[in-house]
Amino acid sequence: MVRFLNANMLIRRESVSDVADLGKVRLAGETSWFTWLLHHYLFLRIPLVRPQRFLEATLPLARLFVSHTALILLVLIALLGGYLTLRQWDTYFATFLHFTNPEGLLWYGLALAGAKVFHELGHAYTAANYGCRVPTMGVAFLVMWPVLYTDTSDAWRLTRKDQRLAIGAAGMAVELALAICATLLWSFLPDGPARSAAFIVGTVTWIMTLAVNLNPFMRFDGYYLLSDALDVENLQDRAFAYAKWWLRDCLFGFGEAPPEAFSVGLGRGLIAYAFLTWTYRLFLFLGIAVLVYAFFFKLLGVFLFAVEIIWFIGLPIVREAGEWWKRRDAFRLNRNLFATGICLAAGIGVLVIPWQTTIAVPTVLQASERANVYAPLAARVTSVHVKRGDSILQGDILLKLESPELDHQIAQAGQRIEMSRLQVRREASGGSEAENIRLLQRRLEGEVTVLHGLEAQRALQVIHAPISGRVTDLNTALKARLWVNESYPLIQIAALEKARLNGFVEERDFGSIKINALAVFYPEDPSQPPLPARVTAVAEVNSQVLDIPYLASVHGGDVPVEQGRRGELIPIHGIYRVSMRPEPNVAAPAMVQRGIVHIEGAAVSIITRIWDRVWSVLVRESGF
C-alpha cells in the first residue's frame, strides 16, 4: 500500500531527498517542444474560459429548462412544429438554397456556432448539477479543424452510472431540443437567410452531431456513453489489453492469465470493440496522413505523412511484435502455434508466389471499319439515295445537297471573270502599257482560282460512300429540303464482315498484358454470349484523349474522364489502348456493344504488384 501511494504521488513529501526525487520525476516527464508538437499538432486544446463560477451562479436558471413543465412544453413544440412542417414539406427542403450567397453562409456559420455552444453548455450544466467541477471550456483543433470542448473529466468521481450517462448525452439532448424549437421557428420566419439558418439547426446540425458524437471509436460522447453503459471505465485501454492477451493466446498459446476477469459475453464484446477500433484507426490515420500531405507544402507534407504512418500505425505494430519477442522463451509447440505457423506460411506464399492474373478491360465490340458521314458545308438536302440496312460499295452516292449561297457565289465569280477578261481585251486592243495588262491578268487568274475552289465545294455536295459496308444508322429527319451543317453525323456506315474489340487498360496493369494473350469479352447485355478473343496490339503511349465515347464515365462507361474546354474526353488516370481480335472471326453487330474483356495477364506476385503501385506513386509525387 505504501509503495502504491508513493508511486502515485498520494503522500506528502517534505524531506530534501523526496523533493529531489520529485524534481527528477518532473524532468523525466518534460519533453522538447519539437516532440510535443509532433504529438499534438493534430489535436490541440486551447482553454478559453474557466466556467465554474458562472455555472454555479446560473445553474438554478438552467434547471428550469429541464423541469417537467419545460419538457411538456418541448413535446408540444415538437408536435406543432412537425405538423406545420408537414404542410410545407416541399418548401422545407428547398430552404437550403438560400446559402448560395455570402449572407447565407454567414447565417449558417452563426447558427452552427450557436448550436455547438449550447451543446457544450449542456455537458457543463449537467456535470455541475451533479456536483462535478468543470475546470475549462475552449476550442480544440482536431486535424486542424476547430471544435469546441468541455472538460468533464471530474465525472469519474460519480458512482451512479445514470448520472455519468446523463452528462455524456446532455450535449446531444440540448442540440435536439434546439432542433425542435428551430423547426417551429422556421414556419414563422420570412424567406431568407434567417429561415435557412433555422432549417440548418433543425436538420443538418443535430444529425451531424449524432453521426460524429455517437462514434464510440474516438473519445467523443459516444465513447463515454458506451463506457458507462458497459460499466467499464477506461474502456479503450482495458479493451486493448484484453484483446492483445486474447490475440497472443490464440496465436501462440502462451497460457497466460487474462489481465482482468470479465464475463464471457463482456469479454467477447471488448475483444470485438478493440479490433473494430484498431481497424477504424488504421483507416483514420491513413486518411489523416494523406490529408496532411495534401494540405502542407510538399516537403513538410512528406515529413508529416511519414510521421503519421510511422508513429500511429508502425510503432504500435512494432511494440506488439516486441511483446511477442519478450515471450520467446515461452514458445512451446502446441496446436495454436502450429496453426499460426501454417497460416503465416500460407500468407507469405500468397504474397510472394506469382499468380496468373486476370485483367478487366472496359471494351467495345464494333465493326472493323466504321465511318460517319457529315455534310461538308451548310446546305440543303435535294435527294437521299440510301436507307438504313442497305449494303453499299465504296464510291456509291449516298445523298445530294445544294447550297443557294454557294451557287450565288459561283455565279458572282463567273461574272467577275467575264468582266476581267473583257477589261484585259480592251486594254490590249487600246495599246495600254504592259504593266497594266499584267495586273489585270493576275486579277483574272485569282478570280479563276476562286471559281475552281467554289466548284470543288459544289462537287462535294454529292456525297459518296467512303467505305464499303452497310448503313447502320441514318438520321431520322434526313429527307429532301432539310437543311444540314457540318456538326451532326448524317449517315453511319460499318463494314460488318469482321468485328474487332477496342478497350483501354489502366497504367497499373499495362505491363501485364502481352500480345497474343487470351481474352474473353463479356457484353454488357447479359443475354449476349461471351466471345473469346486474342490481344493483337497494345499501345506503347498512353491516350491523352478518350476517342471511344461509349466507354467514358460521363456516358455510363467504366473509364473515368473529365470534359475539356472543347468537350474532349480527358482520362483522369493513365490509360493505354488495347486491340483484340475475336476468335473465330465473327460478324460485327450493327450497333456498338459495350462490355468488359478479361485478359490473362502475366504471372505476378501480389507483393510485386503492391510494390510497383507504391513505387509509381512515389515517383509521381517525388517532383518537388
The predicted-structure confidence for 68-106, as pLDDT tens digits, reads as follows 888 999 999 989 988 888 887 777 766 655 555 666 667
Mean pLDDT across 337-366: 87
Return the percentage of the chain with pLDDT > 70, whole number. 91
The least confident of 111-115, 272-276, 398-402 is 111-115
> What local confidence, expressed as pLDDT, does residue 603 receive?
77
Mean pLDDT across 291-309: 71
Higher pLDDT, 481 or 125: 125
Residue 369 — φ and ψ, nearest 5°?
A: -145, 130
DSSP 264: H
Query: pTM value?
Result: 0.60
> Is a pLDDT exceeding 60 seen at residue 41?
no
Q: Is 421 exposed, middle or buried (0-12, 13-18, 19+ CB in 10 A)?
A: middle
Structural domain boundaries of the chain?
Answer: 1-30, 34-231, 264-332, 359-365+496-621, 404-460
Distance between CA 117 and CA 135 in Å, rounded? 16
The pLDDT confidence band at residue 310, using thresholds 50, 70 and 90, is confident
Distance between CA 132 and CA 154 in Å, rounded? 6
Amino acid at 32: S
> Is a pLDDT exceeding 60 seen at residue 156?
yes
The pLDDT confidence band at residue 144, using thresholds 50, 70 and 90, is low
Domain at 359-365+496-621, CATH homologous superfamily: Efflux pump adaptor protein, beta barrel domain (2.40.30.170)
Half-sphere CA count of 40, side-chain side, radius 13 A = 11
Give the model confidence (pLDDT) of 270-280 as tens digits.
999 999 999 98
The answer to whether residues 142 and 44 touch, using CB atoms and an 8 Å cutoff, is no
Instruction: Take residue 512 and report the three cell numbers written for it.
Output: 501485364
The pLDDT confidence band at residue 408, using thresholds 50, 70 and 90, is confident
Give the model confidence (pLDDT) of 522-556 as tens digits.
998 888 889 999 999 999 888 889 888 889 988 88
